[in-house]
Structure 1
Amino acid sequence: MGVAPPPAWGRITSLIPRAMGGNLDNKELTPGAKLYLPVFVAGALFSCGDGHGVQGDGEVCVTAIETALQGRFRLTLRKDLRLDYPRAETPTHYMTMAMDPDLDQCVVRALRDMIVLLDEKRNLSREDAYTLCSLAADLRVTQTVNGSKGIHCMIAKAIVHG
């Protein structure tokens, strides 16, 4: 799932996930989840595909159990959110995502974005948010197959909201 990239990027494939989304391969994006994407062009130009029936964290072998997609999507423009990278929300967790050829850079990005999210939700200092991430957030490998690796950082809403 993704939106059109910034025009300066030119024409690119959606196979490699980037800031605009694309082939996210995140098994947490199931019915009831909310995906938040930065919008780079008027109208966003949302698209989706590459549905998976089953996939582990860290899709490692080019494919999962591929399936058709059928569903209802509600698209809402959130002018109150200023995002550089995708975020998501499940019924139980907040999630930040990062994609980069270097898995270490993914970790840094996902954690930094989670620290920002925790400040937004709880008004925590950066230091307190960083400590909370160390205690309660989970870093998961999203995928490693597309030339650009992925990490998602998850924290339970029950922990964030006490």
Structure 2
Amino acid sequence: LPWGAEIALRPFFGIMGVAPPPEWGQCSSIEPRAFGGNIDNKHFQVGTTLYLPVFAPGGLFSTGDGHGVQGDGEVNLTALETSLSGTFRFTVRKDMKLNNPRAETATHWITHGFDPDLDDAAKEALRDMIRLISAKTGLAAADAYMLCSLQADLHVTQTVDGNKGVHCMIEKKLVE
């Protein structure tokens, strides 16, 4: 920056997704939805595992929208846009039932919610985190909800697309 401060690069792909359900017809890559798409989650860095519900044979994964760095919210319509290349490994997980993308970093579980209304996106991300915690720990939903109130963090992923994005994070050590 002109005054001497430096911003560290933290590259990630803003768009990662699979083909949407055929009954949805043509879908833009701009709005994130259950199939993924323009999620813009800055935590999707090297080593992160992304779990996506699959709606078409073979999944038909695609990626793009390389970002060199971005803050939560992507508030100015763009991040530091850049060209990226990546190597991906795909594993079919028939043991998982997903409504929306989930992610796993070395330290956290991440759930997502997408909706034109930011409050509804937050509710969706939180509800999926409650499901994840209940599945991993055996806690009743009410107890998982309380744990979220104590230890989970809601972040605005992006506000620039028609569907706003919110992600909920909890430390893995609390639920494994």
Query: Aligning the two structures, in what range does the TM-score lie when normalised by the shorter sequence?
Result: over 0.9
Q: C-alpha separation between the residues in 2 aligned to 1:34 and 1:51?
A: 17
Aligned to 2:10: none
List per-residue Cα deviations over 1:120-150 (Å, max 9, x = no partner).
1111111110000000000000000011100
How far does residue 107 in structure 1 lie from its aligned partner after superposition? 1.0
Of 113, 116, 119, which residue of structure 2 is paired with 1:101? Answer: 116
How far does residue 159 in structure 1 lie from its aligned partner after superposition? 1.9
Q: C-alpha separation between the residues in 2 aligned to 1:64 and 1:159?
A: 32
Partner SS for 2:36: coil
**TM-score of the superposition, structure 1-length normalised?**
0.98
Aligned to 2:20: 5
**TM-score of the superposition, structure 2-length normalised?**
0.90
Partner SS for 1:31: coil
Give the ranges of 4+ consecutive aligned residues of structure 1 lying more than 3 Å apart after TM superposition: none
Q: C-alpha separation between the residues in 1 aligned to 2:140 and 2:99?
A: 20
Of 89, 96, 105, which residue of structure 2 is paired with 1:90? Answer: 105
Larger Rg: 2
How many equivalent pairs are there?
A: 161
Aligned to 1:29: 44
Which structure 2 segments of 5+ residues have no match?
1-15
Aligned to 2:8: none
Q: C-alpha separation between the residues in 2 aligned to 1:71 and 1:48?
A: 9
The letter of the residue matching 1:131 is M
Equivalent residue runs for 1:5-154 within 5 Å: 5-154=20-169
How far does residue 12 in structure 1 lie from its aligned partner after superposition? 1.2
How far does residue 104 in structure 1 lie from its aligned partner after superposition? 0.7
Q: C-alpha separation between the residues in 2 aligned to 1:92 and 1:85?
A: 20
Which structure 1 segments of 5+ residues have no match?
none
List per-residue Cα deviations over 1:28-74 (Å, max 9, x = no partner).
00001000000001111000000100100011111000111212100
Q: C-alpha separation between the residues in 2 aligned to 1:91 and 1:112?
A: 22
Partner SS for 1:96: strand
Q: C-alpha separation between the residues in 2 aligned to 1:67 and 1:120?
A: 38
The letter of the residue matching 1:160 is V
List per-residue Cα deviations over 1:92-114 (Å, max 9, x = no partner).
00010011100111111111100
Partner SS for 1:79: coil
Identity %: 63
